[in-house]
Structure 1
Amino acid sequence: MSSDGEKSMEVARSSDKVFAKFRRDFCCYGLGIFLIFSSFSTMMTLQSSVNIEAGLGVASIACAYVTAVVSGFSLTPMLIRRFGAKKCILMGTMFHITYDLANFYPRYYTLIPTAILIGIAESTIWTCISIFNAHFGAEYHKIKNHPTKTVEFFVSRLSGYYFVIHHLHHDGVCNGIVANTLKQVGRQLLIPKQLLIIPITLYTGLLVGYIFSDLPRSFVSCVSGFSKIGIYSCLYGVGHVISPAILGKRGKHLGRIVIFSTSTVLDICNLLFCLLWTPSLDTAWIVYISYVTFGLSDGIWQSTLIVMYTEYFPGRQHVVGATYISIFCLGIAINCAWNTTLCVYMKIYILLSLLAVGFTLFCIAERLHRRELENEQKR
């Protein structure tokens, strides 16, 4: 009896140690990514208001996300296969530091080259995030050993936890690898479900570009002043923290269609407000609410889309992660590219139209996915 009791106590202590190590590793991972993106999101928010001479700030952001698109489709999967996710995140960290340093002396020959490095870092780190979240979810499933809850459930939960931390704010051989990578991504883009979710993914990139570029310039700086941008960004971050926290607990019970419907309604209300509101000091407080709700909806989009990609295309994280971030970054790059060409109201019309199309096609993709799961269960 005493021997059995000692064995059970040893097993319990071992299990506690495993969980403690898991929790420490996950928190360190989340905090590390949070610190990387905190500095860049701040820089990104300020570019349209600080480095305004000849549009240098916005041009650097556009350059970064155009690079991210190209890198995501060609370079990122190759880097992850060759060096692994850990080393790629370290590399991305160094690239982010170079851009931060370049902002101390903002010139075309300092910001543009470092922005290119940022683009490579963005596409690579975001792909690594989906890989790490799937890994931690699988590990958590092993530790919990729950009789009914699936690996996908724990991946969804850990992704929610992660986004809470995240937003607290040689020639021939190489050519062959790149060609193979492009083929894989090309095949990915031809999958029906992937084609159906491209518009909503592109929309989220355009939305982020709009939030970080047009909102500060058109709705904050011109009314409340440049000094208030930080306050609005904090409120956006608060919303961005709340939604993943809720989804981490309740996301699986609600279902993606309900979640995406909520985010769609929030975005429609916000965009209509931006379209109809006449900026004035008397009603400037409304913009605070708008920033919080934009944070809520964007937190839903980003955390849920990454999980959706991994569930739609299991076993292809290195490809689907690169595909997702490339389409997402393309949206940001487009917004930066037309930043000084289109009026704000035209951008809002485009966002509303793309949101309607993207949400409709997503519903079709979700139906196809459920049918596939039902057919697998019948076999």
Structure 2
Amino acid sequence: MKQRLRIRINLAAINISFLLNFGAYYSVQGLQSSLNKSIGTQSLSALFVSMTISALILPPIVVPAIGERKSMALGTFAYSIYTIANFYPRPYTLIPGAVILGCGGAILWVALRSYIRAMSVQYSSIDKVDKDTITTHFFGVFLAFMSASLLLGNLISSAVFQSITLPTHEVSSKTNISNLTTQQTWTAKDANVTEPDTEISCGTHNCDYPSLIENARASETELIDSPVLNILFGVFAASQMLGALVQYFVLTDLQSDDQQDKQGGDCVDTKMIASGDAREPSKMQLITKKILATSKLNIFDTVGRLMIPLTFSVGLTEGFVMGQLTRDWMTCYNGIEYVGYAISVFGIGSIIASYGSGLLSYVVSRRTMLLVVLFLDLASALLLLFWEPNMTRDSWLLYVTFGAYGIIYTCRKTLINASYTIFFPGNKEAANSSSTLWMAIGGAVAYVISSTICNRVYIAILMAVSVTGTLLYYVAERIRAESRDQLKREEG
């Protein structure tokens, strides 16, 4: 009874600590493109790159050395470094902070999976229940708290911004468009540029007057130096540090029931055992083996190559929502105080997709669900391309768009992760690494190009990648089905 209670306390501590950490992080991430412009999106790109690279190197070294509990506390503390960097947002503060976060995030997620697995194994031995069932249950509870964190921080940030009177600016060549808090109409005459007297709006018109946009985004804003922002980031950083302290002092160190269960039983090379040498491979050997397996899947496996575009599109979608959609639509049309509400709606769509895709998987094939997601993706993209919003009557439709992208992003991500596991049952570690790798690369590319290309072009690229990726996925499914049928005939 005492051991069961201890495990439940550990699970509660993990959930609360991640709620504290990611409630703050998701809000800070969503504000980057609106507050810090190109510097903010570049830092998020650096975050994705550093997390991708460090995921192959750091976890096999750090987690066994200091244990899961301390690794999670260290990773969570790294998130607070990026939040603190936002007090003085410059390239030499935000980008190093993002790199530190990326390294810490890679350690955090590996340690988390290992810790929850260890809890599940211990709990199953107490209650005499299948450990895979307990693992699924524990992860389900954890994901519910993660979904809540997507709402919590963003609702707080929007409530704080709405509680104060944000400065409204006359639009000029020195005005930062992203700081406008009400719907504005801009003309070339107002901006002191020699363009025709044509209305300049947000959204897909962000490149209509390059001189205005360039000057606007280059200027510093009153909001960045606002004491309110410092208080907000201070609360977020304190929340993340509190999460790290909960992990360090409340959690207890756990051990798996046996060494074979840890890391899926792959700690010892089977060839070494067969030859009578049961020594564990070195950390460098484990890292090299992981990199080679992932590279082999992406280079030499036909199905692995066919999965790349659709997996890549998940990162592109996330980058678009957290970058252009928040900056050039929600902030530009409605104001920065509404960004948190918009991302919260994105989170609600994500929650609906998480549970909905799981339920629908019993009655609808993955191909059918991906086709529906593609149609929703194309409809949302075409709406943004041709829609000229009037915020006095159309603001609700902008929130619907955020919710639609929450469904698109999460449903596609869930189905892709499931497909990698199903397509490569004997090589799950390389499959998981491949899906994480290409999603991260997609996110990094998205944040790099978000400030350099026009939104019309980006949306066109996003649609092309989504369509191509879905078609190639169908080919991958066909190849897998033919291989399975051929194997059955050979066995028969």
Shorter-chain TM range is 0.7 to 0.9
Match of 1:94 among 57, 77, 84: 77
CA pair 21-117 structure 1, distance change in 2 beyond 3 A: same
- Which deviations, in whole Å up to 9, do the C-alpha atoms of 1:255-291 show, x marking residues without a partner? 3223222322221111111111113323222101111
- Which deviations, in whole Å up to 9, do the C-alpha atoms of 1:193-212 show, x marking residues without a partner? 22121111110000000000
Shift of 1:368: 3.8
CA contact (8 A) 1:40 1:100 kept: yes
Number of the residue aligned with 2:380: 270
CA pair 359-35 structure 1, distance change in 2 beyond 3 A: farther
Match of 2:308 among 177, 198, 206: 198
Q: Indicate whether 1:115 and 2:98 are aligned.
A: yes
Output the TM-score relative to the length of structure 2: 0.62
CA contact (8 A) 2:78 2:105 kept: no
User: Between Structure 1 and Structure 2, how many residues are aligned?
Assistant: 355
Match of 2:418 among 307, 316, 338: 307
Q: Indicate whether 1:187 and 2:296 are aligned.
A: yes
Looking at structure 1, the residues matched to 114 and 28 of structure 2 have their Cα atoms a distance apart, in angstroms, of: 26
CA pair 37-341 structure 1, distance change in 2 beyond 3 A: same
Q: Which runs of 5+ in 2 are unaligned?
A: 151-281
Shift of 1:353: 0.6
CA contact (8 A) 1:60 1:115 kept: yes
Query: After the TM superposition, which residues 1-379 of structure 1 pair with which residues of structure 2 at under 5 Å, given as runs?
Result: 28-52=13-37, 55-76=38-59, 79=62, 87-126=70-109, 162-168=142-148, 169=150, 177-190=286-299, 191-281=301-391, 282-314=393-425, 316-370=427-481, 375=487
Shift of 1:349: 0.6
Which letter maps to 1:205?
A: G
Shift of 1:85: 5.6
User: In percent, how many aligned pairs have the same letter?
Assistant: 22
- Which deviations, in whole Å up to 9, do the C-alpha atoms of 1:130-175 show, x marking residues without a partner? 76788889999997979xxxx6x99888766654432221xxx765
Structure with the bigger percentage of helix: 1
CA pair 51-24 structure 1, distance change in 2 beyond 3 A: same
CA contact (8 A) 1:160 1:303 kept: no
Output the TM-score relative to the length of structure 1: 0.79
Q: Give the superposed CA RMSD.
A: 3.6
CA contact (8 A) 1:73 1:323 kept: no
More moved, 119-128 vs 300-309 = 119-128
- Which deviations, in whole Å up to 9, do the C-alpha atoms of 1:333-369 show, x marking residues without a partner? 1111112211001011111010011111222223344
Shift of 1:304: 3.0
CA pair 156-369 structure 1, distance change in 2 beyond 3 A: farther
CA contact (8 A) 1:205 1:329 kept: yes
In terms of Rg, which structure is larger?
2
Looking at structure 2, the residues matched to 215 and 326 of structure 1 have their Cα atoms a distance apart, in angstroms, of: 24
CA pair 76-262 structure 1, distance change in 2 beyond 3 A: farther
Looking at structure 2, the residues matched to 258 and 133 of structure 1 have their Cα atoms a distance apart, in angstroms, of: 33
Which letter maps to 1:182?
A: I
Shift of 1:125: 4.2
Which letter maps to 1:38?
A: G
Q: Which runs of 5+ in 1 are unaligned?
A: 1-13
